[in-house]
Amino acid sequence: MQRFNLSQWAITHRPLVLFAIILLGAAGVYSYLNLGRAEDPSFTIKTMVIHVGWPGVTASELQAQSVDKVEKKLQELPYLDRIESYSQPGGSFIRVTLSDKTPPGKVKDLWYQVRKKVGDIRNELPPGTTGPDFNDEYGDVYSAMYMLTADGLSLADLKTRAEDIRQRLLRVPDVNKVDIIGERPQKIFIEFTHAKLATLGLTPQQIFDSVARQNAVVSGGSVDTSADRINLRVTGAFSGVAAIAAVPVQVDGQIFRLGDIATVKRGYEDPPSFIVRQDGKPALGLGVSMQDGANIITLGKNLRGAMKAVVSELPVGVEIAQIADQPHIVNESVSEFVETFAEALVIVLIVSFLSLGWRTGIVVALSVPLVLAIVLLVMYATGLDLHRITLGALIIALGLLVDDAIIAIEMMVVKMEQGWDRARAATFAWTSTAFPMLTGTLVTAAGFLPVGFAKSSAGEYAGGIFWIVGLALYLGLKLLPDFAKHGAHKNPDAIYDIRGYNALRRLIDFCLRWRKTVVALTVLLFVGSVAGFGLVQQQFFPTSTRSELFFEMRLPEGTAIGVTDASAKTAERLLAGDP
């Protein structure tokens, strides 16, 4: 029984093959236009941070009476790698890290187990403990960041503007969330001197109790009438600085007004947790996160339209500056891939036209975009986005695709120049080159196999290299249409009597005669490459190509934020003078 020959089947079913080529090409273009785009592939961060607070206690007391209990309970967690804690007076941070081999699909359930286990021992923690608070979303990436500044506006007024802008940005398609960065909460301060309180016979606790009683929220009950139920509410809740200043404080039968014995004023959190500036001015940041699987370039266009409308409605003196534009970075990456693809295609065309003729060059040139179209279609169907990993894999596959096409077409040309007809030459090209090319394809794809099947964060991040390269190579092996020219030599072996082929034959004969030496040199080179691989710099994320400078400054533990702010201003002045 004759074995199946794909080339022979394609030649005998040309209308169907042509229809499939047109259909797959159109589907590839549609997939390219609708694929999600991002700078990096999404991956699961397997770390959670827990904050436990206990105002007024030392770091050792907090560690012994609260943090140790939480850590011991979390040791029961499956897939746990390690637990690290950092305690300081009044608060502690516990970092829970899962094993790198934790399946990404189980991470959310494990974080639920963390919350549940810590909730089970909440009653065992000392009175006065605040939290524990859990944070497993700090890995969110801001696709765009804006800085809002205003001359003559307070931070509270600036926050009001930022909230309005935030609500408008949340309505932009593909926006997941918008965070306000650098907000300083407003607070009402009650300032008094102990000397004055001692003169009046008051203690600070009496002031605290008076304020707490006045601001207590209790149910006033309800009254049922013949038609309605009327809820009773006791007034007295604080509405501002004046209401707090009017709180009565009683001592030894005398009643004092709080505003007469203390200073009540509104201000901002002091000391501040965050200080944000833009060009030396106090500012608030707006960070925009994109939904999973969305097209970041489309998001960038939508954000530019929304921000244009926002800016047109801002009062004079309020300014918005964009300091991070990830859509622009991704657009440059995609454009770079398109340019690389076009350059590779032009080079292949020139080489093919010069060496094999124009019809053969067209075959090679058509096979590459057709393979990429099918790859893009599979990426769209499986949810793979265009990002630095998949784009890199496509660029790697470009050169390999050209090799497969040229090998198959060159075999067809050789047989046709020996007098074979096109159908027989195409059939022979399949039977003689399919298995060797398949073997070479598998060997090449196997080089990326550990990355594709790695059960780790690195595999989750870079696993697309194996799947994209392997798929492109396999499709490039299968999709080689036949448009080659027809011609014949009187002597079928005359095409081999050329200088380049004779030199290649002599080289192969030499290697066969000295095969033991050649094998030994090959093994030696392999061992040397393995040893040299250990000297190659290794890093999880590739070096960023953004035109940005990130300046990180660390001061000794316990440094006041005012000192940190002064040091930051000095650094700002140094960087401001850098051209």
Other CB atoms within a 10 A radius of the CB of residue 379 amount to 23
Measured CA to CA in angstroms, residue 295 lies from 36, 41, 374 at distances of 4, 12, 20
pTM: 0.66
Answer yes or no: is pLDDT of 550 > 80: no
Residue range 15-42: mean pLDDT, rounded: 80
Q: Does domain 356-515 have CATH number 3.40.50.2020?
A: no
Query: For position 484, what pLDDT does the model report?
Result: 40
Tell me if domain 187-224+234-268 and domain 356-515 are identical in fold: no
Smallest CA-to-CA distance from 540 within 25, 122, 41 is with 41
Residue range 474-478: mean pLDDT, rounded: 54
- β partners of residue 53: 91, 130
Q: Give the span between the Cα atoms of 492 and 419, in whole angstroms.
A: 7
Q: Give the span between the Cα atoms of 161 and 93, in whole angstroms.
A: 33
Summarised one tens digit per residue, pLDDT across range 240-255 is 778 777 788 877 777 8
Choose the most confident range, by mean pLDDT, from 398-407, 479-488, 501-510: 501-510
- What is the bridge-based pairing of β-strands 175-181 and 91-98? unpaired
Burial per residue of 143-153, b for 16 or more beta-carbon CB atoms within 10 angstroms, e otherwise: bbbbbbbbeeb
Summarised one tens digit per residue, pLDDT across range 313-351 is 888 778 888 888 888 887 887 777 778 777 776 776 677
CATH of 187-224+234-268 given 3.30.2090.10, 3.40.50.720, 3.90.1150.10, 3.40.50.300: 3.30.2090.10
Measured CA to CA in angstroms, residue 536 lies from 270, 517, 522 at distances of 49, 29, 21
Q: Give the span between the Cα atoms of 78 and 73, in whole angstroms.
A: 12
Domain ranges for the chain: 47-135, 187-224+234-268, 356-515
Query: For position 524, what pLDDT does the model report?
Result: 92
Query: For position 224, what pLDDT does the model report?
Result: 81
Residue range 63-84: mean pLDDT, rounded: 87
> Which of residues 360 and 285 earns the better pLDDT score?
285
Q: Does domain 47-135 have CATH number 3.30.70.1050?
A: no
